[in-house]
A and B are shown apart, each in its own frame.
Chain A
Amino acid sequence: MTEATTGEIQTVVAARLLRDARSVFIGVGRPSTAAILAREVHNPDLVLVYESGTIGAKPRRIPLSIGDGELAATADAVVSVPEMFNYWIGPGRIDVAFLGAAQVDRFANLNSTVIGDYDRPRTRLPGAGGAPEIASGCGEVVVIAPHTRRTFVEQLDFVTTVGHGDGSDPPVRERLGFRGRGPTAVITDLGVLEPDTRTRELTLTRVHPGVDAEQAVEQTGWPLAVADDLSTTEPPTEKELRALRALTSR
């Protein structure tokens, strides 16, 4: 088998995080691929929840949209949008949420609204979708994003979704009455960033095979802290890689 690409490693690492989760909330793209892979390889009972209202979907193929027919056809329950947010996400019934973003700052706050000024945007992005309440309600948040200086910025152009605010005490999440723990990991194509237990600032704790910390620091728009006990991601096993490639070619 050919060696894993950085994108494949990113997906495999995300899937491993779901080993012990009961449920995961996912959008389309890499998060969805990771969750389906986790169900196939690590955790057959994992409940996949999509924003479209499908709870316990069991897709065999990677859906293009969160509302693909296969998700509804295989779900344990299909609920309306108000029910999804008011009965399931808000009360914290979902363990883990995977989120993406166009910009991520050092406290894992996210921007998916605009690049540039709100009233005269350079790039108008899709907007919030479910992200703000998913991030405040779900048990924890895992951010999945490409590791570039465009994405990992010193200052967000717009705060769409609160991660750990400005990192100060008392914790912003407590002050705002959020249920969940917020971002616990940011998985990039270069490594894994985790909030420091004291300062809540994202810290490089792991690099993927073949990546050195310097590369990650270089691709981050703020002086990225590197953990003293920086480790290297365990490379994808043959089983993981085989399952992932079968899934993406299906």
Chain B
Amino acid sequence: MRTPTTIKPLPDAVAGLVRDGDAVALEGFTHLIPFAAGHEVIRQGRRDLELIRMTPDLLYDQMIGMGCARKLVFSYGGNPGVGSLHRFRDAVEHGWPRPLELEEHSHAGMANRYAAGASDLPFAVMRGYAGTDLESRTTVRPITCPFTGERLTAVPALRPDVAIIHAQEADRRGNVQLWGIPGVQKEAVLAARRSLVTVERIVDELEPRPGGVVIPGWVVDAVAEAPGGAHPSYAHGITDRDNDAYREWDRISRDRDTFLAWMREHVLDTAGAAA
């Protein structure tokens, strides 16, 4: 049984839900990436996390570079449209600041793994991986369709300890609505044992939006208000993607000391949710 959703300050919500060694999924496919929550995890000094995310993006580059992660489960580790994620590469290529175990999939595989987790099924069935070197390097198995005999691929369900997402709005009972590119956030929340949603704003009543995805409050453990909490990603209709920040990250993240200085100034020395 889940306890009723509570709306609380971001530091309290993160402290209550994220523990050392957890498998944590912070989702948001280019859009609605929960940066504020991820930064709070860094500030609280969480360690040995298994970080799960289709597209690690700048946020996991930062968490990996700050030494939060033991393992990364992912499908595309690049800075979209810009190039490499340098902290991710440094961890994989040189073990800095610590070695990073990898479990990598394709996007289709990750999406289906979340869907299986949300369905409380042990695995999902799909066409994919066949003929690639990924097949022997990751957690997939061939499976034969019991009806047609077709050879398909089974991917294991993802069941994160915690899912963290960002959305535009929640009401006072913790019902959440997001719109624009929906990514895989609903699946991540439903697949996880615990969940936290940060929102741009708390409203009295959710107003239905075209393409809006509503996640009922009773499947969410905590909601925290974090205006601008997706920056430099964005919240459709409220903020814009800060493409310059994504370009600038390439320079900041190339060098370990420049990276650490940036993190100190922009993440560690800030006051949390209000920052």
| Residues of the A chain whose Cβ atoms lie less than 8 Å from the Cβ of B234 | 69
Instruction: Check A52–B181 contact: CB distance below 8 A.
Output: yes
Interchain CB contact under 8 A, A130 and B80:
no
Chain A residues lying within 8 Å of B128, measured Cβ to Cβ, are 132-133, 136
Q: Does B30 contact A65, Cβ atoms closer than 8 Å?
A: yes
Q: Is there a chain A Cβ closer than 8 Å to B93's Cβ?
A: yes
- Contact status B187-A82, CB under 8 Å: yes
Is B241 interfacial (CB-CB < 8 Å)? yes
**Contact between A64 and B130 (Cβ–Cβ < 8 Å)?**
no
Of A29, A65, A79, the most chain B CB neighbours within 10 A belong to A65
Main secondary structure of the interface of B (DSSP, over half): loop
Instruction: Please name all residues of chain A whose beta carbon is closer than 8 Å to the beta carbon of B15 when the two chains form the complex.
Output: none
**In the complex, are the beta carbons of A78 and B182 less than 8 A apart?**
yes
Bound complex: CA A161 to CA B134 (Å): 9
Interface size class of B (residues with CB under 8 A): 35 or more
Report the minimum CB–CB distance from B22 to chain A (whole Å).
23
B55 proximity list for chain A (CB < 8 A): 129
Contact B127 A90 (CB under 8 A): yes
Q: Which B residue sits closest to A85, measured CB to CB?
A: B108
Contact with B along A11-31 (1 / 0, CB 8 A): 000000000000000001100
Question: Chain A nearest CB: distance from B210 CB in Å?
Answer: 9
Knowing A72-B31, A127-B74 are in contact, say whether A65-B104 is a contact too (CB < 8 A).
no
CB distance from B268 to the nearest CB of A (A): 26
Q: Which of chain A's residues have a CB closer than 8 A to the CB of B93?
A: 121-124
Chain B residues near A140 (CB, 8 Å)? none
Interface size band for A: 35 or more
A-B contact count (CB 8 A): 175
Do the beta carbons of A81 and B54 come within 8 Å of each other?
yes
Contact mask for chain A residues 91-126; partner B; CB cutoff 8 A; 1 contact, 0 none? 000000000000000000000010000100111111
Alpha-carbon distance between A132 and B65 when the two chains are bound, in angstroms: 29
* Mask: chain B, 125-139; 1 = CB below 8 Å from A; 0 = not: 011111111100100
Instruction: Flag whether B168 is at the interface (Cβ < 8 A).
Output: no
CA distance A176 to B241 in the complex (A): 40
* Chain A 64-81 interface residues, beta-carbon cutoff 8 Å to B: 64-69, 71-73, 78-81
Contact between chains at B187 and A121 (CB < 8 Å): no
Known: A65-B241, A78-B181. A177 touches B130 (CB 8 A): yes
User: Which residues from 113 to 170 on chain A have a C-beta closer than 8 Å to any C-beta of chain B?
Assistant: 113, 118, 121-133, 136-137, 158-162, 165
* A162 and B74 form a contact (CB under 8 A): no
Q: Which of B44-52, B82-90, B169-177, B248-256 contacts A (4 or more CB under 8 A)?
A: B82-90
What 1/0 flags go to B227-249 for Cβ under 8 Å of A?
00000001010001101001100
The 5 closest A-B pairs by CB, nearest first: A67-B30, A126-B78, A129-B76, A65-B80, A85-B108
Can you name 17 A-B pairs with beta carbons within 8 Å?
Answer: A53-B182, A64-B80, A67-B241, A69-B31, A80-B111, A82-B111, A86-B115, A90-B127, A124-B92, A126-B85, A127-B104, A128-B105, A130-B76, A130-B108, A131-B106, A132-B128, A162-B131
Binding site for A on B (CB under 8 A): 29-31, 54-55, 74-78, 80-82, 84-85, 88-89, 92-93, 104-108, 111-112, 114-115, 126-134, 137, 150-151, 180-184, 186-187, 211, 213, 234, 236, 240-241, 243, 246-247
